[in-house]
């Protein structure tokens, strides 16, 4: 069986490869790829594998970009480390999932499911499954996050958030009504749970809501400054490297 692993965490990828070979020494792992770009290039330039183990969020984007660019007729076992809603989405006759951290038992179960259902993987069914899964993922982002204020826990709708600002390992949340809340979380974690159609990671410190942006100013060295409808604790600067991507995101539909 020829297997392709798409995973941007090298330790997780190597562990998966080890488990696969322990379960079946005849398995041929064709490659371990860590990005959307590398995966598209590989799938366009090589014979297709029998089965793909695919992480969902890669270093340069969502894995669904791969399967939109390269239509596949081969089954995919998705891997995920978060979001319980994903489990329901993956429990289908066409696709399976591995919940990180993976175990030999979960891999064996996924391979058994592949063996039982591989004859059912037809081009139209596989394409439809990936498209539907992409739509389910889109709507699985958090609609509300919990923030603390003194002794109270407050459910804050994400649409009310104008910006998130990281300083000294604390996230300051500024709302469209000029309220401030604080939480201890990582910006990377918030980036995973907030809809990227709505929120943009402007730089290491800022994530901003497109609906709070009033205008963009050009800055020296081809950088940009995003002006929001509320006061921010610092200037929101978008680097030269990200300026074009930011402007494309800003003009895209939300």
Paired with 252 in beta bridges are none
Taken in order 147, 148, 153, 156, the sign of the CA dihedral is negative
User: For residue 68, what pLDDT band results from cuts at 50, 70 and 90?
Assistant: confident
Give the other-Cβ count within 10 Å of 240's Cβ.
Answer: 12
Q: What is the pTM of this model?
A: 0.49
> CA 185 → CA 12, 120, 168, 192, distances in Å?
23, 43, 11, 12
Domain spanning 145-251: CATH superfamily: LytTr DNA-binding domain (2.40.50.1020)
pLDDT digits (tens, 9 = 90+) for 94-132: 467 777 888 999 999 889 888 877 665 555 455 555 556
Contact 214, 229 (CB under 8 A): yes
Name the fold adopted by 2-138: Rossmann fold (3.40.50)
Residue ranges, CATH 3.40.50.2300, the chain: 2-138
Structure tokens at 208: 């901003």
pLDDT for res 88 = 43
Quote the longest CA-to-CA distance of the chain.
61
Q: Which candidate, 207, 147, 206, places its Cα nearest to that of 182?
A: 147
How many Å apart are CA 195 and CA 209, to the nearest integer? 10
Residue ranges, CATH 2.40.50.1020, the chain: 145-251
pLDDT of 203 over the 80 cut? yes
Q: Which candidate, 170, 164, 214, 216, places its Cα nearest to that of 192?
A: 164
Per DSSP bridges, beta strands 199-201 and 206-209 are antiparallel
User: For residue 63, what pLDDT band results from cuts at 50, 70 and 90?
Assistant: confident
pLDDT of 29 over the 70 cut? yes
How many Å apart are CA 205 and CA 188, to the nearest integer? 11
Task: Quote the radius of gyration of the chain (alpha carbons, Å).
Answer: 21
């Amino acid at each position: 069986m020829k297997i392709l692993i798409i995973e941007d965490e090298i330790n997780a990828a190597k562990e998966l490869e080890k488990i696969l070979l322990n379960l079946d020494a005849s398995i041929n792992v064709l490659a371990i790829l860590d990005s959307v770009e590398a995966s598209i290039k590989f799938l366009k330039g090589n014979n297709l594998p029998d089965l793909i183990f695919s992480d969902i969020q890669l270093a340069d984007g969502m894995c669904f970009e791969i399967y939109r660019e390269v239509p596949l007729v081969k089954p995919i076992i998705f891997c995920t480390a978060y979001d319980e809603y994903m489990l329901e989405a993956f429990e289908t006759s066409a696709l399976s999932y591995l919940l990180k951290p993976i175990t030999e038992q979960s891999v064996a179960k996924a391979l058994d499911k592949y063996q039982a259902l591989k004859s059912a993987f037809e081009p139209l069914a596989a394409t439809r499954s990936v498209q539907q899964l992409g739509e389910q993922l889109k709507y699985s982002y958090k609609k509300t996050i919990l923030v603390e204020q003194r002794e109270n826990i407050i459910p804050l709708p994400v649409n009310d958030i104008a910006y998130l600002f990281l300083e000294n390992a604390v996230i300051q949340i500024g709302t469209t009504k000029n309220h401030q809340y604080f939480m201890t979380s990582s910006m990377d974690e918030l980036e995973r749970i907030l809809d990227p159609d709505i929120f943009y990671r402007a730089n290491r410190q800022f994530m901003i809501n497109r609906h709070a942006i009033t205008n963009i100013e050009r800055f020296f060295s081809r950088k940009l400054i995003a002006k929001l409808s509320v006061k921010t604790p610092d200037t929101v600067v978008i680097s030269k490297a990200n300026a074009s991507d930011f402007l494309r995101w800003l003009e895209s539909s939300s």
